[in-house]
Amino acid sequence: MRNQIEYQVSGDYALFTDPLMKLGGEKMTTQVPSYSALKGITESIYWKPSIIWVVDEVRVVNAIRMESKGVRPIDMSGGNTLANYSYLRDVNYQVKAHFIFNENRSDLQEDFNEHKHHNIAKRCIERGGRRDIFLGTRECQGYVEPCTYGEGKGFYDEIDEMHFGTMVHGINYPDETGKNMLEARLWQPKMEYGKIKFIRPEQCTLVRPLYEMEAKPFQLEQTMQSVDVLYADMEGGE
């Protein structure tokens, strides 16, 4: 597929929070990362407002194991409170994603350079990402490196099918949809032989509006650096 990248992300712990489990102050991870979590990781590797990352697949390499910890989060009224957080332990995922241009940002068409965006993204993977990688929450540090998707032995390679019920797929943001509304998407993922193939955001049928929101404005050379300048800087630095 055009503009496709493949990378591996791993870490000692991950917490892909299930929104339904946050009501009482506790946090419990979902068994697998959501589309939006992997999109966020991909955007930490490389992102510009002129492109949209589309996560195609994820391969769960290690066994799904959970570990509960007692923590003392800061209370909004001051001091600390007690809570139990359930984390995923020793996680390793292979991710396949590609980018498309954000057609809702016609003001950034000068930044629509497919070749340069793709080359910069691949270089960023080799360097572990442009920003810090977090696996769901800030205390769960992740590490990114290049990989060949599907290579190596995975724990679920011989298991034909696993279901995870209804999960959050992701969030619809105004700058990606063209609507002044923040929306949540739900779906029912299925893992086959260790791989989950994601449907596109526009294919989700369970969509719920959250609240009205406007897209953040950007201006080339004023609030952001063009891909041409960024590419030239990277070329000059090698």
Residue 116 pLDDT > 60, yes or no? yes
Placement of tokens 């799904």 in the chain: 64
The mean pLDDT of 134-143, rounded to a whole number, is 94
Q: Per the domain annotation, does 107 fall within a domain? A: yes
Cα(111)–Cα(221) distance, rounded to whole angstroms?
11
Least reliable range by pLDDT among 11-15, 96-100, 152-156, 221-225: 221-225
Of the chain, the percentage scoring pLDDT greater than 90 comes to 62
Identify the band that residue 65 occupies on the pLDDT scale cut at 50, 70 and 90.
very high
Q: Give the CATH number, domain containing residue 11.
A: 3.30.70.2660
Question: What's the total number of domains in the chain?
Answer: 1
The mean pLDDT of 134-150, rounded to a whole number, is 95
Q: Per the domain annotation, does 214 fall within a domain? A: no
* The pLDDT of residue 76: 75
Q: Per the domain annotation, does 49 fall within a domain? A: yes
Give the pLDDT confidence of 167-224 residue by residue, as tens digits.
999 999 988 888 899 999 999 999 999 999 999 999 999 999 988 988 777 766 656 6
What is the span of the domain harbouring residue 120?
Answer: 4-165+190-198
Q: Per the domain annotation, does 176 fall within a domain? A: no
Question: Which is higher by pLDDT, 91 or 110?
Answer: 91
Placement of tokens 């992102």 in the chain: 47
Cα(226)–Cα(112) distance, rounded to whole angstroms?
9
Q: Per the domain annotation, does 131 fall within a domain? A: yes
- Structure pTM? 0.88
Q: Per the domain annotation, does 99 fall within a domain? A: yes
